[in-house]
Structure 1
């Protein structure tokens, strides 16, 4: 009997954790991971990434060879170009211009989304990832005024982190509604608004931007920004477009697997509706309106369901929360503020975050061992 092969298409946060869980017990599966990046380049904590990249990279930019569980996984560095579902194989364009095919018994689609300048699908080397981090940080450091456009967690995190990192800058946060963080419990915005105001961020509700062409949304721009809601144009040395204009990285998939917006249609078991041997997880999976499997540790469920599927056993189901929860602005000098689904906050002290949570809970507990860089 041959060893079942599981191909994990996309090794971002969700795909990598799924592969980590599948790697035990050793030898049960032949696991192949496909990634356009040379390591985990997380989409988390954008504000920290832009303002303190040297600290961000210690936890959120990690080459694959540092993950102990991935010693049992073969990583293919390239871009997915096609899926042949009938013959169960995917095609991958390699950096040298050649193409290879990878057969599978089970396929995990975890290719994520394109979102702004910080989540892009193109193939990159270690040097290119580092250059992107430096360039974005230097761009903001040189600006006297920063305008953050958007009302989600990424926008709020950027505004607060820029204001606390560079107190002399003019920082404006513009969002279309009466409040930001509309996908969180209302209590969350009440707490975060006070923190933004205390840091000197100018809050400008009721500002709906006239968006530039799509390419301009994928880089840090310049002002002025014009508003469809009637306000005067706003000048700025640097404009962060964090408007949630996400695009699923699914051009390589057939239409039968996708919904009308291009996300992968899945059942509560995280299996695709059309092909039970194909699963999806993370921001690319249309599990619920918030596509929350990426933020609610569905990787455990997915790994268990893959084992159950191959063993002919019943599969578990994913239950999405009604609102987003967790950290909003990331680690600050006074620790990490985390919000429960009810909107109530609790705080982890700074020493605990960097000495216990990241090295112990995250690296050893969640990722099952990460070698020092």
Structure 2
């Protein structure tokens, strides 16, 4: 008897982990725009220390042991036929095709600045994008970072650490940054920023003209709707949180008013029997937290239950963001709990326990060592 066929549209963190969990129970086909996992997390480390960032956040698919039985398609999904249960795509060579499914997982994520996009890219194109952003900031004497979320705060902290002689300024609209975290997180992180010489500018809301391209590092002065004089810097990093769901390929009846995929508490797409959604594209809650709270294991369990006629379990989103804000530093990795308390993991433990045992083996089911570096 043949296994059920599951198509995972999108192979970022959430889609990749879902495919890994289902690999032994279904015939899994994953469609992704990158030749491997290119994480959208830890923007600050990506900009300031790209080689270190890539070590943990950029992994070719062939290195994942539990993806051995998963067929991956390097391309972009272009459409869906819910009645016929097929997904169409265009691969990296421009050839079109389609895949039938018994279950479809929508995990195509969001576009958010220059570091998270739906473009089909080769390995060398990803290399160039990462290197270009790093080199642009390396050549700037002054850097302005716009936004109050974890991406902007982490960028300010890591850029100031990498280049202490540069003028780094962080502009955010509220009285405090990190509004989706417990207030205690900002109290602790803001002290780190001040200690590293970052200029903090609360109460600054940027003017973003219609058609303005937020998906690049800019150089023009930044105007403020809150009345302050324009700010000038050699390089401006926009991390204002204007995410755009990668849902153009989906019919409008599956989407909410913001273009995100409507789901029920079990992560099943509203009004659909065999389609599920996870990650930043899934409208689970205002923070769309299924992308960062191990909902992949729950989703895989629910898909198996669906295929066997069993009971599905609801996803319960946390009320606040949690986790790392600035990533691994010289003194280790600080992880913040939802109550604002920070727990520091020393570097020796990050390298010998957290990454190899908990993340690579425990979460991803084993990752092979990289082959010899390119000459």
TM-score bracket for this pair, using the shorter chain length: over 0.9
Question: Is 1:240 matched with 2:224?
Answer: no
- Equivalent residue for 2:325? 328
CA distance in 2, matches of 1:342, 1:97: 48
CA distance in 2, matches of 1:68, 1:235: 48
CA distance in 1, matches of 2:40, 2:352: 22
CA contact (8 A) 1:23 1:70 kept: yes
- Equivalent residue for 1:285? 282
Structure 2's unaligned 5+ residue stretches are 371-375
CA distance in 1, matches of 2:278, 2:111: 15
- Equivalent residue for 1:21? 21
Could you state the TM-score of these two structures normalised by the residue count of structure 2?
0.97
- Equivalent residue for 1:89? 86
CA contact (8 A) 1:256 1:274 kept: no
Compute the displacement of 1:54 (Å). Answer: 0.5
Compute the displacement of 1:7 (Å). Answer: 0.2
3-state SS in 2 of match to 1:173: strand
CA distance in 1, matches of 2:205, 2:199: 16
- Equivalent residue for 1:8? 8
3-state SS in 1 of match to 2:44: helix
Compute the displacement of 1:96 (Å). Answer: 2.3
- Equivalent residue for 2:192? 195
- Cα pair distance change 1:214/1:70, threshold 3 Å: farther
CA distance in 2, matches of 1:329, 1:82: 37
Structure 1's unaligned 5+ residue stretches are none
Please give the root-mean-square deviation of Cα atoms over the aligned residues, in Å: 0.9
- Equivalent residue for 1:33? 30
Aligned length: 370
- Equivalent residue for 2:113? 116
CA distance in 2, matches of 1:177, 1:97: 45
Spell out structure 1 runs of 4+ moving beyond 3 A. Answer: 212-215
CA distance in 2, matches of 1:279, 1:341: 27
- Cα pair distance change 1:149/1:344, threshold 3 Å: same
CA distance in 2, matches of 1:49, 1:329: 11
Give CA deviations for 1:214-256 in whole Å, capped at 9, x if unaligned: 4520001113111111111111000000000100000001111
Compute the displacement of 1:309 (Å). Answer: 0.1
CA distance in 2, matches of 1:76, 1:274: 28
Question: Is 1:256 matched with 2:253?
Answer: yes
Of 294, 299, 313, the residue aligned with 1:297 is 294
Give CA deviations for 1:282-321 in whole Å, capped at 9, x if unaligned: 0000000000001100000000000000000000110000
Question: Is 1:350 matched with 2:333?
Answer: no
CA contact (8 A) 1:363 1:370 kept: yes
- Equivalent residue for 1:182? 179
